[in-house]
A and B are shown apart, each in its own frame.
Chain A
Amino acid sequence: MSKQAVRLPRPPLQTKIYLALMLTGFLMIVAALAILVVVATVAVGVLDNPVAARVAATAGTSLLANQGDLFAFPLWVGPFTLLGIAFMWVAIITVLWAIRRTIREALASSMREGLPLLLQERRRPDEPTHQDRGGDGGA
Chain B
Amino acid sequence: MAVLNALRGMLVLTEQRVPTTQVKMTGMQVMASRMWPLFTAMGFLIILASLAYGVVLANFTSDYLAFPREVRDQAAAGSSIVDKKVFIETTKVWLPAFKFLGLGLLLGGITFLLATIIGTLRLGGGVVQQAFGREVVNLKPPLTANLFPMLMMLGLMVLMATLALSIVVAFIAHGYWNHSIANELSTAPEGSALAENFKTIKFYTTWLPAFKFAGIALMLSGIMLSLHTIIYVMRFRSRRMREMVQGVEGPQREEVS
* Interface residues of A, Cβ cutoff 8 Å to B: 1-6, 8, 10-12, 15-16, 18-20, 22-23, 25-26, 29-30, 32-33, 35-37, 39-41, 43-44, 47-51, 74, 77-78, 81, 84-85, 88-89, 91-92, 95-96, 98-99, 102-103, 106-107, 109-111, 113-114, 117-118, 121-122
Specify which chain A residues have a CB less than 8 angstroms from the CB of B220 in the assembled complex.
22, 25, 85, 88-89, 91-92
Could you list which residues of chain B lie within 8 angstroms of chain A, going by C-beta atoms?
3-4, 7-8, 11, 131-132, 186, 190, 195, 198-199, 202-204, 206-207, 209-211, 213-214, 216-217, 220-221, 223-224, 227-228, 230-231, 234-235, 237-239, 241-251, 254, 256-257
The 10 A-B pairs with the shortest beta carbon distances in the complex, nearest first, are A40-B206, A1-B249, A110-B238, A33-B210, A106-B238, A95-B227, A36-B207, A114-B245, A110-B241, A88-B220
Chain B residues whose C-beta falls within 8 Å of the C-beta of A95 in the assembled complex: 224, 227-228, 231
CA distance A112 to B249 in the complex (A): 20
Whether B238 lies near A99 (C-beta < 8 A) is no
- Chain B residues contacting A2 (CB-CB under 8 Å) are 248-249
Contact of B214 among A1, A6, A23, A33 (CB under 8 A): A33
User: Roughly how many angstroms separate A82 CA and B153 CA in the complex, as a whole number?
Assistant: 22
The reply to whether B246 and A6 form a contact with Cβ atoms under 8 Å apart is: yes
**B248 contacts A26, CB within 8 Å?**
no
